[in-house]
Amino acid sequence: MTKPTNSSDRPNSLRKRAGRMRRALHAFAMWIGPRAMRDRLKRALDAVGLLVWYWRAKALAVRLARPFVPRRIAATIRFVRAMRATAAARRAEPRLTVAVDISPLWEPLTGIGWYLYRLLQNLADRDDVRLRLYGPNLVSTPDLPPPVVPLPSGPALEEVRYDVGDDLAVSYVSAVVWLRRLTARLIAADGNQILFAPNYFLPAWFSRARGRLVATVHDLSFLRVPWTMRETTRENLETHLRSAVERASLVLTDAETVREELIESALVGPERVTAVPLGPGAATAAGGADTPLPDGVPARYVLHVGTLEPRKDLPTLLAAWRLLRARSEPPPLVLCGRLGWKTEELEKAIEEGVAAGWLVHLGYLEDAQVAALYRHASLVVMPSIYEGFGLPAVEAMCLGAPLLVSNIPVLREVAGDAAAFAEPGDPEAWCDQLERLLADDDARAELIARGRQRSARFTWQRTAEATVAAWMQAAVGDKASSTPAATASGPDSTSRSGTPRSTSHLDPETTP
């Protein structure tokens, strides 16, 4: 007997059938859909070893289609317009605009790097100049190393960097490569009135800029003592410095002595070179009052600070010390600084002194430790045969250390009556002065007092004021500036800290 059908079961049956039909249609759509088709195609290509060609073809298709994607075209147009608007705004700047090569700030902060850093610090809050800072790369990428110190900030400073997005009509890598190739044109487009080279001459990426060049020449080692330099640095200066100085509207030096040397060498006329003395070195800004002396340093010692390289004439000092030890029992000699170049014989002499117990070589130290060494030194010595300024002399005067230096023009200019002098290269003369000063507490106290008084004239604020005055003089000067700036690309080198491939175009041996 047939069971009667309940009328309420019919809709449920229809719904079940409809559900099964939808699931079947969805499964069929998935099976024939693009994703499933790609998966089957990839499995088939993988089975015959052709999957890599699939990926290459896909990448090529994406790359070829990228320039024609409307949103990427729009993003590229916005990017180019923004760059052009930024350049136009920079050209319309009412203040004096100065392009500054800040590549030395990617080196250890000694010499030229310290000079540039302190200059920027003291100019950051000015309202009458606009300093545009151009580093080794104008295009920001995650792999770029930062400068060794944070860049100063203020209303006068603008770091020029371009950020590239990944939504352009060309790939991110292609955009970065092309912008880097256009670096010289981008700098030229900013229309800076002054081009400032803090490191003798400008790098190659300033080659198209047409502002008036102001270059700082820190010393003339390559003419005065060429045998003390690395060959690459000497050749670089011989090749490029003359053209840079000829092109410059104004040349700055760290001391009047170097200014006179420039004029005597016929590199520049007296009307186009100005001496702008520097401020104190990095140790004076580091404190160090509560910093203990480094391990191995005795309570009483004589101090030398600086890279151990031929210009410093350490052999004369070591010879004087051996003579002094034959006469008396002097305190140990402490050398604070890394070994530089052409030091094979010097290294042997240092090892002998260390082994004999009368010499301590500390190598490179932090600024606070160097400041502590200055403060506790019985005497600070500088036996240099040539200097461009002599920052350690100013540091010693600022930090209350008596000073004995070589009787050379630039150190007479800087130290004046606040130092005792000995003839360079004369161990007997150095021995006599060392013996006299180490035995005379009153003479050392007098040098300390004179040094503190004299050090007051060396400030970075004065250096900054004089530098701005020089820029303004160049901006209104008579020398035409219709040709691009003299530039040079630098040799491969090793920095004082041992970092390979200097981003600066000169080795650190040319520092003040």
Encode pLDDT of 234-277 as tens digits.
Answer: 888 888 888 889 999 999 999 999 999 999 998 899 999 999 99
pLDDT of residue 214: 96
Domain annotation covers residue 1:
no
In a shared domain, residues 422 and 434: yes
Count each helix (H run) and each strand (E run) in the chain, helices first: 18, 15
Give dist(CA 136, CA 505) in Å, integer: 11
Yes or no: say if 428 and 461 are a contact pair by the CB < 8 Å rule: no
3-class secondary structure, 485 = coil
What percent of the chain lies above the pLDDT cut of 70? Answer: 85
CATH of the domain at 421: 3.40.50.2000
pLDDT of residue 56: 79
What does residue 56 show for φ and ψ, rounded to 5 degrees? -65, -40
Domain annotation covers residue 12:
no
In a shared domain, residues 163 and 242: yes
In a shared domain, residues 293 and 393: yes
pLDDT of residue 482: 39
Give dist(CA 427, CA 284) in Å, integer: 30
Assess whether pLDDT exceeds 70 at residue 399: yes
Domain annotation covers residue 45:
no
Give dist(CA 301, CA 88) in Å, integer: 60
Assess whether pLDDT exceeds 70 at residue 222: yes
In a shared domain, residues 207 and 318: no
In tens, the pLDDT along 436-446 reads: 999 999 999 99
Q: Is 266 left (phi over 0), alpha (psi -120 to 50) or beta?
A: left
Yes or no: say if 338 and 304 are a contact pair by the CB < 8 Å rule: no
In a shared domain, residues 236 and 291: no
pLDDT classification of 9: cutoffs 50, 70, 90: low
In a shared domain, residues 79 and 160: yes
**Of the candidates 82, 229, 104, the residue with the CA atom closest to the CA atom of residue 164:** 82
In tens, the pLDDT along 113-154 reads: 999 999 999 999 999 999 999 998 898 888 888 999 999 999
Give dist(CA 198, CA 510) in Å, integer: 12
pLDDT classification of 341: cutoffs 50, 70, 90: confident
pLDDT of residue 61: 63
Give dist(CA 233, CA 245) in Å, integer: 17
- The identity of residue 2, as a single letter, is T
Yes or no: say if 117 and 459 are a contact pair by the CB < 8 Å rule: no
In a shared domain, residues 267 and 310: no
In 10 A of CB 230, how many CB atoms?
Answer: 20
Write the CB contacts of 267 (distance below 8 Å, at least 6 apart in sequence).
241, 242, 245
In tens, the pLDDT along 471-507 reads: 999 998 744 443 455 554 333 333 323 322 333 445 4
Sequence length of the chain is 512
pLDDT of residue 283: 84
Q: Looking at the 3D structure of the chain, how many domains does it have?
A: 2
pLDDT of residue 480: 40
In a shared domain, residues 233 and 322: no
Assess whether pLDDT exceeds 80 at residue 192: yes
Q: What is the DSSP string of 339-406?
A: B-SS-HHHHHHHHHHHHHTSEEE--S--HHHHHHHHHH-SEEEE--S--SS-HHHHHHHHTT--EEEE
Assess whether pLDDT exceeds 70 at residue 4: no
Residue 302, H or E segment: strand 302-305
Q: What is the mean pLDDT of the chain?
A: 86
Sheet with 157-159, side-by-side order of all strands: 157-159, 129-134, 96-101, 194-197, 212-217, 250-253, 273-275
Kindly state the average pLDDT of the residues 376-390. Answer: 96
Assess whether pLDDT exceeds 80 at residue 2: no
In a shared domain, residues 434 and 473: no
Structural domain harbouring 377: 283-455
Domain annotation covers residue 141:
yes
Which of 38-52, 58-72, 100-114 tops mean pLDDT?
A: 100-114
